[in-house]
Structure 1
Amino acid sequence: MPYTYMLQCSDGTFYTGWTVDLEARLKAHNSGKGARYTRSRLPVELVYWESHLSRGDAQRREAMIRKLGRKQKEELVLKNTEGIKE
């Protein structure tokens, strides 16, 4: 199943990506084998994810999230955290 996800890096910045294996991708990022952006900002923490029916849907959503401002990304993370608590 394809996922769009957002990581929070050790410097507080966000990284957005997509994958078909969320757990493996998080391990790759934290081992330094993920995106170049996250390699110098380890460790990273998974703070937001959503599943999709197709890779194309996940990629389109990734592009949409990347265009959001920091405040909007923080709101997504907050909504995700509230959903987990409920």
Structure 2
Amino acid sequence: MSKWHWYIYIIECLDSTYYTGCTWNIPDRMDQHISRLGSKYTRKHGFKKLVYFEEHDDLNEARKREKQIKDWNQRKKKKLISGEWKKY
């Protein structure tokens, strides 16, 4: 088991779209997104707020989960964020 913890997070952008990412340090990564030094997507769409995150012990598992969520439509992401969708 790794000593690192990895986080999958979802940001709501200024245009009400969602950005999903992976990091080991949420505060630093949010600062990057806020200052528009984060992803190209959030530079273009703007940062509104962090709306969801989950912790993983393994980077490979975190990356798989990130890809899974990125493949979801907006409605499914909203259900995850609101707690209507159980993590599985």
TM range (shorter): 0.7 to 0.9
Q: Indicate whether 1:52 and 2:51 are aligned.
A: no
In the superposition, the TM-score normalised over structure 1's length comes to 0.88
1:55 Cα offset (Å): 1.0
Indicate the percent of aligned positions where both proteins have the same amino acid: 34
More strand by percentage: 2
1:18 Cα offset (Å): 0.3
Report the RMSD for the aligned CA atoms in angstroms: 1.2
What does residue 47 of structure 2 align with? 43
The gaps in structure 2 that reach 5 residues or longer are none
CA–CA distance in structure 2, aligned partners of residues 62 and 40 of structure 1:
20
Moved more, 37-46 or 62-71: 37-46
Aligned pair count reads: 80
Runs of 4+ in 1 over 6 A off after TM superposition: none
Q: Give the counterpart of 2:71 among 67, 78, 82.
A: 67
